[in-house]
Structure 1
Amino acid sequence: MATNFDNPELFQWVAEQAAARYPFDNPGCRLLAFSENATYLIFDPVTGEKLCVLRVGRPGYHTRPEYESEISWLRQINDYTPLTVANPIPARDGSFIQEVTDPATGNVYFCMATEFLSGETLEHETDPAAVPRHFEMLGEITAYLHRQTEIWNGTKEIVRPHWDCDNMIGPHAIWGDWRAYPELTPETQGAIERCVGIIYRRLERYGKTPQNYGVIHADLRDTNIIVEGDAVKVIDFDDFGFGWHLHDLAGALTFIEERDDVPDLVNAWLDGYRKVLPFTDTDFVEIDTFILQRRIQMLAWLASHQDSTPVQGYMEGYLDGTMGLVDRYLKLFG
């Protein structure tokens, strides 16, 4: 699955076309990152004021109803939780979603602008002693989001993907097949496949209930939490969809699952989560399953997104760390 970021000039052009539709005079447009989408800072070139953040989606990744669902949830979070999220900004005509068509290919790019949120992300904290506190905060934030979706009647109107086993680690997963990871050998692939079979069986038994499955952020890491004074702000809802609540815990540990302090971070996350919602023993015994499922899902993401900005520093040592988790999982459940 290609990410279509091999033509950054085209994405820049699309962003500039979309930015011109908003109530800003001759705004500047600077690339922030390529990931599942291309994200741009829209700013005043004279004063340097940060006006908004503009996201340009890859053609075919999200549909208009999926973007409309994101707008609906963002509004609910701002209205009914203590959290702050970036509100969508309307264009001059009042619309929140802009369609820009590439005249050369006919491809349609959906674009959406949101408020620029000031502050620092949790990842910028340099004190190692602060990391457990961050995970406690992540757990509490996650529980607020889960509680909001449990009581919101509008969840039945949401149009978003389901992050289930098939869509994460199946052969036709949304982010591609993990077997395409370039460094796999027959031995490593075989070991991971044994784990995949166990994960499928365990999660089939775990089931999907209103208490363990619903609308989730799906990428609630320290990179997506901004803190400014007492204000806590959540960003990057591009992956949100339906999934197991525990996937949000696994998501918080993305790329660090093999670290020695993970048990402490999990416990801190649980401490935060339990401030808002209960967490059962049945949930607890599947934590390792969700962590490994996320790790395997990211094998597929890394393999299929090698032109994305974050991937450049993540692949080194990733397979070795994955195999350590695989060996441990097979000893526990194999």
Structure 2
Amino acid sequence: MNISILEIGAKRFGTNASSLRLLGGFDQNVYECQLHKNLIIKFLSSEHHSYTTIKAELNWMNYLSSNGLFITTPIVSQIGNLIEEVQTDQDNYFVIAFEKAKGTIRQDIEHDFSLIHNWGKVMGKMHYLAKNYLQDQPNHYKHWNEEKIIIEYQENAGQTILKKWNWFLEELNKLPKDEQSYGLIHHDLHHQNFHVYKEEIIVFDFGDIEYHWFVYDIAISMYHAIQTIPSSDKRKKQEFAIRFYETFLEGYLEENSLNKDWFSYIPFFLRYRQIYSYIYLLNYLKVDNAQPSILSALRNMKSNIENDIPVIEF
């Protein structure tokens, strides 16, 4: 990233570029301040983000926090702004900052069913709050079919996958929508997007929020949890998937009600997440610089999609 952008953005939040350490993020745009260990700074290109959508994301996070969920709290700049805009002759970025989440990512989730239960509770609470929040909010959140990868023709995916992709989009367009089943979702609540501190889950990375079916949010968490079990051990993968599903839903249903008919769509949304992830990576991953393990995973995803091999027989 342009050093001028880093320097100006860091200064707006009371630090300097030399104190920033790259943490990552899909766009390699998330930094930790080494002078202020509780500060995370995120740089968002105006090419892909707008002030309005970023403000809506921060408003949602503040709303969740004020209603009892543990969220990485947005931090204001030196002059009291939640969002700072930084420009050079070549680039234009929005800069936002957060309090660093206490605790750590829980890497080994295979046998941690207490965590999975709490994970379900957190999502259930989010969905419950979403049902009320959006009734009084300006419509600054995109719907599922307004995403760039859905609007644009995905010719680079190949004709076989493109045909299957279009089938999923057609099926999604047929699904009913009401405030009890369709609303604002996190859209990426896997176990790498929250910390665990004293058994409490602290959620971060709300950059993908959008209107979608609540059951899809559940399927997303399940999809990424299943990926932690080696595909070579099909029995273990199957047993974990069932146990995860049962435990996660126990927690979820303690906080939010969802018509049981929607749970029959879990296999559909698991398959959809697989093809969505493949197309997303194909569009936004810098494949030329990707590690061999990533390229291997992409080849496996492509093969599974083309041959109708589901993530799990569920």
**For the superposition of Structure 1 and Structure 2, which TM-score range results when normalised by the shorter chain?**
0.7 to 0.9
Which residue matches 2:234? none
Find 2:275's aligned residue among 284, 287, 296. Answer: 296
What SS does the corresponding residue of 2:61 show, helix, strand or coil? helix
Question: Would the aligned equivalents of 1:36 and 1:58 in 2 still touch at CA under 8 Å?
Answer: no
**Structure 1 CA distance for aligned equivalents of residues 278 and 303 of structure 2:** 11
Deviation at 1:204, TM superposition (A): 3.0
**Structure 1 CA distance for aligned equivalents of residues 249 and 295 of structure 2:** 29
Superposed CA RMSD = 2.8
Find 1:129's aligned residue among 111, 114, 118. Answer: 111
Whether 2:261 is the aligned partner of 1:282: answer: yes
**Structure 2 CA distance for aligned equivalents of residues 155 and 241 of structure 1:** 16
Question: Would the aligned equivalents of 2:118 and 2:201 in 1 still touch at CA under 8 Å?
Answer: no
**Structure 2 CA distance for aligned equivalents of residues 86 and 311 of structure 1:** 30
Question: Would the aligned equivalents of 1:169 and 1:293 in 2 still touch at CA under 8 Å?
Answer: no
Find 1:59's aligned residue among 36, 46, 65. Answer: 46
Q: Which runs of 5+ in 2 are unaligned?
A: 232-236
Question: Would the aligned equivalents of 2:10 and 2:16 in 1 still touch at CA under 8 Å?
Answer: no
**Structure 2 CA distance for aligned equivalents of residues 98 and 168 of structure 1:** 25
Structure 1 residues 26, 282: closer, same or farther in 2, change over 3 A?
A: closer
**Structure 1 CA distance for aligned equivalents of residues 177 and 149 of structure 2:** 17
Question: Would the aligned equivalents of 2:58 and 2:74 in 1 still touch at CA under 8 Å?
Answer: yes
Whether 2:133 is the aligned partner of 1:152: answer: yes
Whether 2:90 is the aligned partner of 1:113: answer: no
Structure 1 residues 34, 80: closer, same or farther in 2, change over 3 A?
A: closer
Whether 2:3 is the aligned partner of 1:17: answer: no
Whether 2:123 is the aligned partner of 1:142: answer: yes
Question: Would the aligned equivalents of 2:142 and 2:211 in 1 still touch at CA under 8 Å?
Answer: yes
**1:178-327 alignment to 2 at 5 Å?**
179-181=155-157, 189-190=159-160, 192-252=161-221, 253-254=223-224, 256=226, 259-260=237-238, 261-307=240-286, 312=291, 313-321=293-301, 323-324=303-304, 327=308
| Bigger RCO (CA 8 Å, 6+ sep) | 1
**Structure 2 CA distance for aligned equivalents of residues 289 and 199 of structure 1:** 9
Deviation at 1:138, TM superposition (A): 2.2
What SS does the corresponding residue of 1:128 show, helix, strand or coil? coil
What SS does the corresponding residue of 2:57 show, helix, strand or coil? helix
Q: Which runs of 5+ in 1 are unaligned?
A: 1-7
- Paired letter, 1:150: K
Which residue matches 1:4? none
Aligned length: 298
**1:97-108 alignment to 2 at 5 Å?**
97-103=83-89, 105=90, 107-108=91-92
Structure 1 residues 281, 13: closer, same or farther in 2, change over 3 A?
A: same
Q: Which moved more, 1:253-262 or 1:236-245?
A: 253-262
Question: Would the aligned equivalents of 2:186 and 2:208 in 1 still touch at CA under 8 Å?
Answer: yes
**Structure 1 CA distance for aligned equivalents of residues 269 and 261 of structure 2:** 13
Which structure shows the bigger proportion of residues in helix conformation? 2
Give deviations 1:39-95, integer Å, cap 9, x for gaps. Answer: 011121xxxx404100001232110011111121111111113x2111111112111
- Calculate percent identity across the aligned residue pairs: 20
**Structure 2 CA distance for aligned equivalents of residues 13 and 25 of structure 1:** 11
**Structure 1 CA distance for aligned equivalents of residues 84 and 243 of structure 2:** 44
Whether 2:62 is the aligned partner of 1:75: answer: yes
Structure 1 residues 323, 208: closer, same or farther in 2, change over 3 A?
A: farther
Structure 1 residues 321, 108: closer, same or farther in 2, change over 3 A?
A: closer
Deviation at 1:284, TM superposition (A): 1.3
Structure 1 residues 160, 62: closer, same or farther in 2, change over 3 A?
A: farther
Question: Would the aligned equivalents of 1:135 and 1:266 in 2 still touch at CA under 8 Å?
Answer: no
Give deviations 1:245-285, integer Å, cap 9, x for gaps. Answer: 12212321238457433233222222221111123232012
Deviation at 1:229, TM superposition (A): 0.5
Deviation at 1:234, TM superposition (A): 0.3
Find 2:23's aligned residue among 28, 32, 54. Answer: 32
Structure 1 residues 154, 76: closer, same or farther in 2, change over 3 A?
A: farther
TM-score (structure 1 length as normaliser): 0.79
Deviation at 1:171, TM superposition (A): 5.7
Question: Would the aligned equivalents of 1:155 and 1:215 in 2 still touch at CA under 8 Å?
Answer: no
